[in-house]
Amino acid sequence: MRIDGPLGHAIAEFAHLDRVLLASDYDGCVAPIVSRPEDAKPDPRSVAALAAAAALPGMDVALVSGRARADLAALSGLGDPVVLVGSHGAEFDTGFADPVTAEKRALLDRVITEFEALAARFPGTSVEIKPASTTLHVRNASPEDADAALALAAEGPASWEGVHVTYGKAVIELAVIETSKGHALDRLRDIGHAQAVLYIGDDITDEKAFARLNLPGDVSVKVGDGATSARYRIDGPDDVADVLEAVVASRS
Ligand SMILES: O=P(O)(O)OC[C@H]1O[C@H](O[C@H]2O[C@H](CO)[C@@H](O)[C@H](O)[C@H]2O)[C@H](O)[C@@H](O)[C@@H]1O
């Protein structure tokens, strides 16, 4: 898809500023949504465009994902100079700003035990474990089992003190620290003195990032259906690759 119209115009203006931050979510954007999280391979065009963008002067590039940072690095194959931020914006290369204390780790272990009991009870559900959170996946369960598992998670560990709840695509995620992709973008914008940020996201957690893109020149791009505060909308990962390539071509 050729990126033209209002989004093409916004990309051209963004790409001609002196210092900018180009950032994207991973699942559903750089990689398609698939049944098994471990199979979410990135689109090679997006990977190449992100790497090319990171080599351009004055342009910082980041992936900001709900994944554990190590998982994001392994799956995407990307790394320095592309900045990887995991755990929904909370996990940088320097670790967590809000540390995972022994007490929080113990709470996380209790949540994981509850999720594993649910996964054993409802076929097709599974548990993903991350450094500060755990995700109950229901994509491969029957609709009845998915609803029941999500409801029990919400009534149970999601209601415990100290547990932070995030909903996503066929998942409920429980963290023992606060997470925000919006805070991550603020921090990256400050570090790089970026005059504008272009961010691409497809999920509920990306709304916290879109909400921070209020400066002239900022560009927020929602991928797929659903309510959003993003200014522009595209259809899927193919279009994400087109947007990333358009940024590189425009700045080059
Ligand atoms: O912020 P993101 O990079 O979009 O990460 C959000 C979650 O993505 C993964 O789950 C989602 O993608 C899976 C693979 O396509 C899919 O099976 C699942 O239903 C989706 O919710 C990842 O597994 C989670 O840890 C991330 O939080």
Domain end call among 158, 175, 192: 175
Residue 220, domain CATH = 3.40.50.1000
Over residues 191-213, the pLDDT tens digits come to 999 999 999 999 999 999 999 99
Secondary structure (DSSP) of 47-78: HHHHHHHHTSTTEEEEEE-SS-HHHHHHHH--
- How confident is the model at residue 34, as a pLDDT? 98
Q: Is the preceding omega at residue 44 within 30 degrees of 0, hence cis?
A: no
Structural domain boundaries, residue 126: 102-175
Find out whether the beta carbon of 203 lies less than 6 Å from any atom of ligand 1: yes
Instruction: Specify the length of the chain in residues.
Output: 252
Find out whether the beta carbon of 40 lies less than 6 Å from any atom of ligand 1: yes
- How confident is the model at residue 73, as a pLDDT? 98
Q: Is residue 167 located within the same domain as residue 242?
A: no
Domain end call among 175, 203, 218: 175
Find out whether the beta carbon of 19 lies less than 6 Å from any atom of ligand 1: no
Over residues 104-156, the pLDDT tens digits come to 999 999 999 999 999 999 999 999 999 999 999 999 999 999 999 999 999 99
Over residues 56-89, the pLDDT tens digits come to 999 999 999 999 999 999 999 999 999 999 999 9
DSSP code of residue 31: B
Half-sphere exposure of 79 (CA within 13 A, CB side): 8
Q: Atom 5 (ligand 1): residue with closest C-alpha?
A: 66
Q: Is residue 114 located within the same domain as residue 129?
A: yes
Residue 136, domain CATH = 3.30.70.1020
Atom of ligand 1 nearest to the CA of 32: 15
Find out whether the beta carbon of 27 lies less than 6 Å from any atom of ligand 1: yes
- CA distances, 123 to each of 36, 84, 136, 144, 148 (Å): 14, 33, 12, 11, 11
Q: Which amino acid is at 184?
A: A
Domain tally, the chain: 2
Q: Is residue 193 located within the same domain as residue 113?
A: no
| Helices and strands (H and E) in the chain: how many | 8, 12
| C-alpha of residue 199 to centroid of ligand 1, in Å | 17
| C-alpha of residue 252 to centroid of ligand 1, in Å | 32
Find out whether the beta carbon of 76 lies less than 6 Å from any atom of ligand 1: no
Domain end call among 126, 151, 175: 175
